[in-house]
């Protein structure tokens, strides 16, 4: 029975979704770290919001843990690196609260422009401070977006409706997408110089931390309004306070802070500052949406292998999963083959897709191939961690695809460059099973066996009999025997499926045969 733990306060409907799909679910909110560590090993999935913090110790204790679902956008509370290394998929729900968060940013922009909270408080205290609140119009002003993803694009849409001009800084924003959402793509310094209002919509990473630093804020217009409803740490809070006190910054509105809960903060008490307690996603609709979405995503993954909104794994739809499954298995085995014959420094990897498979979602197949490839080199590697590990090792990856395949409906080829020389192996699906169909460019067909003797030799008479004799002497039973060659008397290969591992002494004897260039035992 698949089991999921809900460790944060999620809408009740999330529990119903799991149970209706046949997944056992426990709801235990407010667990201390040591309490969570004691029980996490029982569960296949962990659903959280922001209070529960699955760090490396919790993840290490999750012996059966396969997926962590974060009901919300940010995953600051999840050790994604540790999860990736352990093969645990980390999912979030980037769209469930996007509208709510964007609307809050717009509300904060208006609040800062007109100082509504302060005016309300003083009015209700019996004052009539009309002369103290001369605000600014947003009409025709320039809004600078830092981050133009899902939430940022919604903010842009609302701002354009207010007849504002929108400029955006986002390294991942294409020129085509900028035109589509109606913004002007600019560099950060250009945005700082032109924007009347700056609003942030980016995750907190090493690249975005303190993106609005003291130096950056010095480049802004006098009287600029700063809105942060994204993540604490994107803005230098002390520098904003200094700007508010000097008047260089006209107003600021923050929903997020470096330290939360923010019981005190350098910004509190500043003139023209508006604060809310991380309310960006706090609407009834958003709370329900993210809870339901994370439950559906986790259930899909645990039951079908479908991957949605994962931070460390390629997405696979429920419809794609059955079609991809045999090709993912083939990719992993081909990767294992290539990894076991790569007896030197791995510098480049090329994966070629031919025929129908080239039209499928190739990312999970590539991830599986890399996992198989790196397994002989690394103790712990999986589909989730493999792409990052290859990059860390300095390996270059190249993919290519062809719409047709000369012989097979679908063919996958893996080439690895080791010590300046290329090694290649190709495979296909035949009768529903993964098969080897080419090695070193030589055609042959062989099923994968738990143990396979791989020999590269010269095509000379007597070689096969001599090798078979040595295996017979060692009482190693031959299960399958497949041959390929370039031409008579030329380069040849033999793939011999055997029922047990080949003793080192026998391998040495085979290597000593005059025709043999290379021999090893492959294990699958």
For 167, other C-beta atoms within 10 Å of its C-beta total 21
Q: Are strands 67-70 and 45-48 parallel, antiparallel or unpaired?
A: parallel
Cα 324 to chain centroid, rounded: 19
Instruction: Name the 3-class secondary structure at 11.
Output: coil
Q: How far apart are CA 211 and CA 195, in angstroms?
A: 15
Q: Are 491 and 456 in contact (CB under 8 A)?
A: yes
Q: Which residues are catalytic?
A: 231, 260, 278
Question: Which residues lie closer than 8 Å to 172 by C-beta, 6 or more apart?
Answer: 149
Question: Which residues lie closer than 8 Å to 279 by C-beta, 6 or more apart?
Answer: 104, 255
Residue the block writes with tokens 């294990």:
523
Give, as one character, the DSSP assignment of residue 461: T
* 479-482 long-range contacts, CB within 8 A, separation 24+: 479/449, 480/446, 480/447, 480/449, 482/436, 482/444, 482/445, 482/446
Q: How far apart are CA 8 and CA 28, in angstroms?
A: 7
DSSP H helical segments within 87-202, as ranges?
A: 98-114, 116-124, 150-161, 175-181, 188-194
């Amino acid at each position: 029975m698949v089991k999921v733990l809900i460790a944060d306060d999620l809408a009740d409907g999330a529990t119903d979704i799991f149970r209706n799909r046949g997944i056992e679910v426990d709801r235990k909110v407010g667990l201390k770290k040591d309490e969570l560590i004691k029980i996490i090993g029982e569960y296949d999935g962990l659903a959280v919001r922001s209070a529960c913090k699955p760090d490396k110790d919790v993840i290490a204790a999750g012996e059966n843990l396969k997926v962590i679902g974060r009901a919300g956008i940010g995953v600051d509370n999840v050790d994604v690196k540790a999860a990736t290394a352990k093969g645990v998929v980390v999912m979030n729900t980037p769209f469930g609260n996007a509208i709510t968060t964007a609307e809050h940013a717009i509300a904060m922009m208006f609040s800062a422009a007109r100082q509504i909270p302060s005016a309300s408080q003083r009015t209700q205290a019996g004052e009539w401070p009309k002369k103290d609140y001369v605000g600014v119009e947003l009409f025709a002003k320039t809004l600078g977006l830092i981050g133009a993803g899902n939430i940022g694009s919604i903010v842009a849409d609302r701002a354009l409706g207010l007849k504002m001009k929108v400029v955006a800084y986002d390294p991942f924003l294409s020129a085509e997408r900028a035109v589509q959402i109606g913004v002007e793509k600019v560099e950060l310094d250009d945005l700082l110089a032109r924007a009347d209002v700056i609003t942030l919509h980016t995750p907190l990473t090493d690249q975005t931390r303190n993106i609005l630093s003291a130096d950056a804020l010095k480049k802004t217009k006098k009287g600029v309004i700063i809105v942060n409803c994204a993540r604490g740490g994107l803005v230098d809070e002390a520098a904003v306070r200094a700007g508010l006190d000097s008047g260089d910054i006209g107003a600021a509105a923050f929903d997020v802070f470096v330290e939360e809960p923010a019981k005190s903060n350098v910004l509190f008490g500043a003139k023209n500052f508006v604060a809310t307690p991380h309310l960006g996603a706090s609407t009834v609709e958003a709370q329900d949406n993210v809870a339901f979405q994370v439950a559906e995503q986790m259930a899909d993954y645990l039951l079908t292998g479908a991957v949605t909104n994962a931070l460390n794994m390629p997405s696979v739809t429920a419809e794609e999963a059955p079609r991809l499954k045999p090709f993912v298995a083939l990719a992993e085995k081909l990767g294992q083959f290539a990894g076991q014959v790569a007896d030197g420094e791995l510098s480049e990897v090329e994966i070629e897709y031919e025929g129908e498979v080239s039209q499928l979602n190739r990312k999970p197949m590539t991830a599986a191939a890399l996992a198989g490839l790196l397994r002989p080199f690394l103790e712990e590697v999986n589909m989730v961690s493999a792409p990052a590990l290859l990059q860390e090792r300095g390996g270059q990856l190249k993919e290519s695809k062809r719409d047709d395949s000369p012989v097979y409906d679908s063919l996958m080829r893996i080439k690895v460059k080791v010590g300046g020389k290329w090694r290649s192996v190709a495979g296909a699906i035949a009768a529903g099973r993964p098969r080897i169909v080419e090695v070193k460019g030589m055609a042959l067909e062989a099923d994968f066996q738990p143990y396979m003797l791989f020999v590269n030799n010269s095509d000379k008479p007597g070689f096969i009999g001599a090798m078979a004799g040595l295996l017979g002497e060692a009482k190693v039973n031959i299960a399958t025997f497949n041959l390929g060659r370039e031409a008579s008397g030329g380069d040849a290969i033999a793939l011999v499926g055997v029922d047990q591992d080949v003793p080192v002494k026998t391998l040495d004897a085979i290597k000593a045969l005059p025709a043999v260039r290379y021999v090893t035992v492959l294990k699958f």
